[in-house]
């Protein structure tokens, strides 16, 4: 139950630290603290409302991804990779934004990445597949539009670029997993024919 542990870490983080302590700042890359803040920003939140929003939105998808991967290490890697892609993506969008942020906090990018991964690998039947891919397309379009509005200064305070890049990284991870599993099945069928 890594999913629940990630959210409990967020609760503990909010109780023990000010969000400014766990946020990642673009202008403060100093040694080991730089890496610690990369990780800490992914498991902390700006406030309890932010945490509950991520929890309610992400919980079912994260549990599904954890179930499908059947491996805690793989799930943590997925969470970290999508969170890292979200951080890098938000930084790139901030470089061209009217109101650039000086850093980010929150697991939203990683959560969106795991949600996208879950939607991209859902294949229990053709209707679930169709609904999952439709929902995924909606999230990509929605977050792309919100990212565009944010860069133009029409909205601020939410890292929509992080959400979008987390989603794209989640889709990429799902594609890599599908490709890996298909290759493994092909190898297995070749061996059984010999």
Tell me what pLDDT residue 186 has.
80
- Tell which wins on pLDDT, 6 or 26: 6
Q: What is the pLDDT of residue 191?
A: 65
pLDDT tops 70 at residue 189:
no
- pLDDT tens across 98-147, in order? 988 888 998 999 999 999 999 999 998 999 999 999 999 999 999 999 99
Reported confidence tier of residue 160, pLDDT bands at 50, 70, 90: very high
**Using an 8 Å Cβ cutoff, are 86 and 159 in contact?**
yes
Q: Residue 24: which H helix or E strand, with range?
A: strand 24-25
Q: What is the mean pLDDT of residues 189-193?
A: 64
Q: Per residue in 55-108, pLDDT tens?
A: 999 999 999 999 999 999 999 999 999 999 999 999 999 999 998 888 899 899
Exposed/middle/buried for residue 97 (C-beta within 10 Å: 0-12, 13-18, 19+): middle
Please, is 136 exposed, middle or buried when counting C-beta atoms within 10 Å of its C-beta (0-12, 13-18, 19+)?
A: buried
**pLDDT the model gives residue 40:** 93
Confidence class for position 28, pLDDT limits 50, 70, 90 = confident
Q: What is the DSSP string of 99-164?
A: S--SEE-SSHHHHHHHHHHHHHH--SSHHHHHHHHHHHHHHHHHHHHHHHHHHTTSS-SS-HHHHH
Predicted pLDDT at 162: 96
**Residue-level pLDDT at 45:** 92
* pLDDT, tens only, 145-156: 999 999 999 988
- In this prediction the pTM is 0.92
């Amino acid at each position: 139950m890594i999913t629940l542990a990630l959210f409990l870490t967020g609760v503990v983080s909010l109780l023990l630290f000010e969000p400014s302590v766990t946020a990642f700042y673009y202008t403060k890359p100093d040694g080991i603290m730089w890496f610690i803040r990369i990780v800490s920003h992914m498991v902390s939140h700006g406030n309890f409302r932010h945490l509950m929003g991520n929890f309610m939105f992400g919980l079912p998808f994260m549990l599904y991804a954890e179930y499908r991967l059947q491996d805690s290490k793989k799930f943590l890697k997925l969470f970290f990779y999508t969170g890292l892609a979200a951080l890098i993506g938000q930084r790139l969008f901030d470089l061209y934004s009217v109101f650039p942020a000086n850093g980010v906090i929150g697991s939203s990018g990683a959560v969106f990445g795991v949600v996208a991964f879950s939607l991209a690998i859902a294949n229990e039947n053709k209707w679930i597949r169709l609904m999952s891919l439709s929902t995924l397309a909606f999230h990509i379009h929605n977050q792309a539009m919100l990212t565009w509005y944010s860069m133009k200064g029409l909205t601020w305070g939410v890292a929509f670029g992080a959400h979008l890049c987390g989603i794209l990284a989640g889709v990429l991870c799902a594609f890599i997993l599908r490709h890996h599993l298909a290759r493994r099945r092909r190898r297995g069928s070749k061996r059984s024919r010999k």
